[in-house]
Structure formats: C-alpha cells, structure tokens
Amino acid sequence: MSESSSVYVVDDDPAMRDSLKWLLESVDFQVHVFESATSFLEEYGGQRPACLVLDVRMPGMSGLDLQDELVRRGITIPMIMISAHGDVPVAVRALKTGAIDFIEKPFSDQLLLDRVRQALHNDQQASETDEVKETIRARKASLTPREKEVMELVVAGNPNKSVASHLGLSQKTVEIHRARVMSKMSAGSLAELVRDCLMLK
C-alpha cells in the first residue's frame, strides 16, 4: 500500500497542506494537494486505490459540500474529515454521508497515518470487488434470454426436472442450457455460480 496508492489532501490552510504532504510522502504515498474543493473536483480522475483527507470548513465549497457533490456524482472514495471545529452534529452528518473517519485538530501523525492506511486498504478491497462484479456482469450479458431463465431457476435451487417443467422444455434441453450457462459464467460448480449471482444482487 504505497506507490500505487494516492492520497488527496484538500485544505485551504497552506501550512496544513504542506505538513500533511510531507507526512504522507515520508511513508511513500503519492500525495496530491488542493487548496479548494473545486480544484480537487476539476482534477480528480477516479484513480484507485485512493483516499481523500479534507478539512470540513473551507471558503466556498466546504468539506461537507464536497462530500455531498461526490455522492451526487456517484464517486466513491474513502474520506477522512479533519477540522478544528469538529462538533458532534458535523461529525455525525459526515459519517452518515460516507466519511469513514472524523479527526479533530490537533491530531498525532501516527493517528492520521493509521486512518489513511485503513482507508486505502478498504478502497483496494472495494476496487477489487468492483472489478470482479464487472467481469461477472459481462459473462451474464453473454447469456441468451433462455440461458438466463435457466440460470435463475437453477440458482434458486430448482433441480433440472423442475426447471424443465417450469419452462416447458425437455430435461435434456435444460441440461444443455445449464452446461452452457456454467461454461459462459466460468463457474466450476453450482456453488460458484450461486456465489457469483449473489455478488450482483
């Protein structure tokens, strides 16, 4: 969790930006600093794994406003809110909207590094899960409408005989469709097929 991991720092305080940049670069993170939420939105391209460290209160678009805008745009990135003005309502709102942590200034270097590492670890796992889901979706899209019907019934726990009766097909035809489904979905077993389908729920 180092060179390929990006940490974005958004803070209107130059001294805080420089301090955070130095700290995070000292442990080999790629650090990108921004003086405003607007400048971050203009440059962020969705790189992952990544983490956003931002100040709650900034001129113009605040940290909470940026958080709302990211949600509106469907952008998922772990956020760590920092503020000298941290109060319970602000923290609760930030956490409810998706921030994974809320740290009050002053804070220890180790605390911030620990939280950033955890955020990046979480994002790495989420990113890998998203890639797996996309692969499964692409496989499912390759199925014919009839194969999808067979798959849904099989995954629901129906034996071939019941599937055949439900669809008005012969059991042999169902077996052929089922074999094609397993092949196209790259599923080595029924359990694997069920697991893959559940991931798309």
In the chain, what percentage of residues exceed pLDDT 70?
Answer: 95
Rounded Cα distance between 155 and 166, Å, is 14
> Which domain CATH number covers 156?
1.10.10.10
Indicate whether 118 and 158 sit together in one domain.
no
Indicate whether 168 and 190 sit together in one domain.
yes
> Which domain CATH number covers 90?
3.40.50.2300
Question: Which of 70, 104, 129 finishes a domain?
Answer: 129
With a CB cutoff of 8 Å and minimum separation 6, the contacts of 189 are none
Residue 147 DSSP SS3: helix
Say what the pLDDT of residue 60 is: 85
Domain enclosing residue 61, as ranges: 6-129
Reported pTM:
0.68
In a domain, 195, yes or no: yes
How many structural domains comprise the chain? 2
In a domain, 1, yes or no: no
Structure tokens given for 180: 């094609």
Would the pLDDT of 171 be above 80?
Answer: yes
pLDDT in tens, 123-162: 888 878 888 888 999 999 999 999 999 999 998 889 899 9
Rounded Cα distance between 86 and 4, Å, is 31
Residue 176: pLDDT band with limits 50, 70, 90:
very high
Q: Which of 29-38, 72-81, 87-96, 131-140 has the lowest mean pLDDT?
A: 87-96
Indicate whether 123 and 165 sit together in one domain.
no
Indicate whether 109 and 79 sit together in one domain.
yes
In a domain, 134, yes or no: no
Indicate whether 21 and 118 sit together in one domain.
yes
Question: Which of 98, 129, 160 finishes a domain?
Answer: 129
Question: Which of 80, 98, 129 finishes a domain?
Answer: 129
Q: Whats the size of the chain, residue-wise?
A: 201
Say what the pLDDT of residue 88 is: 61
In a domain, 137, yes or no: no
Structure tokens given for 135: 């692969």
Indicate whether 120 and 23 sit together in one domain.
yes
